[in-house]
Chain A
Amino acid sequence: MILEVASGNFSYRIERSRHNDQLETIIVLLNMMAEEIRESFHHFALINPHETYKQIAQMTFILDDQFYVRNFNSSAQQLLGLPFSELSGAPFEKFLTIDSAELWKKEIGEIKKLNESPYYQTLRLFFASSNSLTVPALCSVSSLVL
């Protein structure tokens, strides 16, 4: 995590546990610090936004009707640190943390209730990358027409 931040990558977070000790405190502070540093690089002029900046469209996944990965962009592969063979054809929840996988399963339930009706939702999900760090992302999930 520290190496990622030092090399200019503020996207990663360390996954939290249920421990309540000094190490967990350092993890909390590192994660919050990375958020603040990422935010501070957005201000190239005097800007007073109404809310926090949000990054969009870093990772794109196309899923089939069983919610398995059919396609993805290079940012997805890069951020998750996984080879093509592990991404392609895998269930989407495989790339999420435990809590986010539960949230994703609930959303699948909601999507299935709609049958063929169009679906659009915004979800905050945490992806688990291969270097044991998590990537928080505000995800836009929508059904495709074709």
Chain B
Amino acid sequence: MNKSLSNEYATFWIDDGILHFIYHAEVVVDLLAAEKVVADRLKCQEDKYYPVFCDTRGVKDTDKSARDYLAKEGSILTSAVAFLVNPPISQAIIDFYVRTSKPITPTQIFTEKYDALKFLKTYR
């Protein structure tokens, strides 16, 4: 496993050809947070494409500017994205995001980490 990188919103690392990132608890993802998360994700990836596992169970809220930013710039250097959610709130937020912001990368939502990683392994 490569060394990890952490900021006030999330922690990132690469393992088995998949970029993992976990949002910290009670994070509100506004545009500033979204820009910081994308910047650090790209730093971790070092210009390489990766399938991305995103644990969003800690996300408390998002705003539209953040969702729009993540759907476009947040898809850079991603071959696929799997969101891990926890019903009901983080699942509702991510469901809403995928339906309205229409991210350009293949994206799916999971409640089990094993299923999420199984989906991503086909994009390595």
Residues of chain A having any CB pair with chain B under 8 Å: 16, 18, 20-22, 24-25, 28-29, 31-32, 35-36, 39, 51-52, 54, 124, 136
Q: Which residues of B contact A35 (CB under 8 A)?
A: 63-64
Identify 13 residue pairs between A and B in the complex whose beta-carbon atoms are under 8 Å apart, listed by A's number. Answer: A20-B89, A24-B89, A25-B88, A28-B61, A28-B89, A32-B100, A36-B100, A51-B65, A51-B68, A51-B69, A52-B31, A52-B68, A124-B30
Q: Which residues of B contact A18 (CB under 8 A)?
A: 26
Give the CA-CA distance A86 to B88 in the complex, in Å: 39
CB distance from B103 to the nearest CB of A (A): 15
Q: Which of B41-68 contact A (CB under 8 A)?
A: 60-65, 68
CB distance from B96 to the nearest CB of A (A): 5
Would you call B38 an interface residue if the criterion is a C-beta within 8 Å of the partner chain's C-beta atoms? no
Which has the most chain B C-beta neighbours within 10 Å: A18, A24, A25, A32? A32
Would you call B5 an interface residue if the criterion is a C-beta within 8 Å of the partner chain's C-beta atoms? no
Would you call B92 an interface residue if the criterion is a C-beta within 8 Å of the partner chain's C-beta atoms? yes
Q: Report yes or no: B88 in contact with A22, Cβ–Cβ below 8 A.
A: yes
Give the CA-CA distance A32 to B28 in the complex, in Å: 13
Give the CA-CA distance A33 to B94 in the complex, in Å: 13
Residues of chain B having any CB pair with chain A under 8 Å: 26, 30-32, 60-65, 68-69, 88-89, 92-93, 96, 100
A36-B100, A51-B68 in contact; A25/B92 too (CB < 8 A)? yes
A16-B61, A36-B100, A136-B63 in contact; A28/B69 too (CB < 8 A)? no
Give the CA-CA distance A31 to B28 in the complex, in Å: 14
Q: State which of A16, A22, A39 has its C-beta within 8 Å of the C-beta of B60.
A: A16
CB distance from A135 to the nearest CB of B (A): 13
Q: Report yes or no: B64 in contact with A32, Cβ–Cβ below 8 A.
A: yes
Give the CA-CA distance A22 to B88 in the complex, in Å: 7
Q: Which residues of A contact B96 (CB under 8 A)?
A: 28-29, 32
CB distance from A47 to the nearest CB of B (A): 14
Give the CA-CA distance A20 to B26 in the complex, in Å: 11
Give the CA-CA distance A136 to B26 in the complex, in Å: 18
Q: Which residues of A contact B100 (CB under 8 A)?
A: 32, 36
Give the CA-CA distance A16 to B4 in the complex, in Å: 32
Q: Which residues of A contact B68 (CB under 8 A)?
A: 51-52
Q: Report yes or no: A32 in contact with B62, Cβ–Cβ below 8 A.
A: yes
Q: Which residues of B contact A32 (CB under 8 A)?
A: 62, 64, 93, 96, 100
CB distance from B67 to the nearest CB of A (A): 8
